[in-house]
Structure 1
Amino acid sequence: MNILVADDESVLRFLLTETLADEGYAIAEAEDGRQAMEKLEQESYDLVILDYMMPEKTGVEVCEWLRGTETPNRDIPVILLTAKALEKDKEKARAAGVTAYVVKPFSPLQLIDTVESLLDEAKRP
């Protein structure tokens, strides 16, 4: 299972990468929204984790773009990580096509549970 992790905070990206790799996932990393878009155009992933606030493009902008393009990744689950817990932010994320919304701070176990349940759902016909 391939997962793309896009977050501009290198420490958090490292934590996410290590946590998911320990669970057996293959992880690709992006430092900002534009890099995430490039990777999503070049490779196939099973799931993408986007930080809301990133340079170049926000996680919501990347998700909107992804849902509107003809890439193999168009329908994969998208997890949005954010410190923004307001309802209007959640609505904006849902409208963009975000599958799950994880509010910072979160536990690595919470994230793994979310990843596993989304990947299980994606496998179902």
Structure 2
Amino acid sequence: MSAHILTVDDSASIRMTTRIALTGAGYQVTEAVDGADGLAKAKGGSFDMIVTDLNMPNMNGLAMIQALRASPAHTGIPIIFLTTESDAEMKAQAKAAGATGWITKPFDPEQLVKITRKVLGK
């Protein structure tokens, strides 16, 4: 069975690009449109990894990660930020909140797959 990945982004084109890259590599993908939707889907499902944007309406990626890390069931799930942000202070905040890694947009879909394989070991 392939790994199940939750992607969270308010941009439909980024969700599509992410889904195509990950499903093409054999992963199962569920999409969420913002942090609040991502949090609800993460709590209602079983995911091997989460890929999230930072700047989104309703709930940003940082707040979503903090909420997930507060739940014992979600402490070990790898979470990768996929964002236009490249500020060192923001990266430090993300790491402190529990982010596993950081990819800056625009991104190479092959890089996303490579990082996913490395993080998941599959």
TM category (shorter chain) comes to over 0.9
Which structure 1 segments of 5+ residues have no match?
none
Separation in 2, partners of 1:114, 1:58 = 22
Equivalent residue of 2:47, what SS? coil
Separation in 2, partners of 1:46, 1:15 = 19
1:105, CA displacement in angstroms? 1.2
Q: Does 1:98 align with 2:109?
A: no
Q: What residue in structure 2 maps to residue 109 of structure 1? A: 110
Alignment: residue pair count: 120
Equivalent residue of 1:28, what SS? strand
Q: What residue in structure 2 maps to residue 84 of structure 1? A: 85
Q: Give the counterpart of 1:68 among 60, 67, 70.
A: 70
Which structure 2 segments of 5+ residues have no match?
none
1:48, CA displacement in angstroms? 0.2
Percent identical among aligned pairs is 33
My pick for the range that moved more, 6-15 or 61-70, is 61-70
Q: TM-score, structure 2 length as denominator?
A: 0.94
Separation in 1, partners of 2:64, 2:118 = 22
| Pairwise CA RMSD | 1.1
Deviation by residue 1:13-49 (Cα, 9 ceiling, x = unmatched): 0110011001110100000110001011111100000
Separation in 2, partners of 1:83, 1:12 = 11
Separation in 2, partners of 1:53, 1:41 = 21
1:70, CA displacement in angstroms? 2.9
**Residues 9-88 of structure 1 aligned to structure 2 (within 5 Å):** 9-71=11-73, 73-88=74-89
1:74, CA displacement in angstroms? 2.6
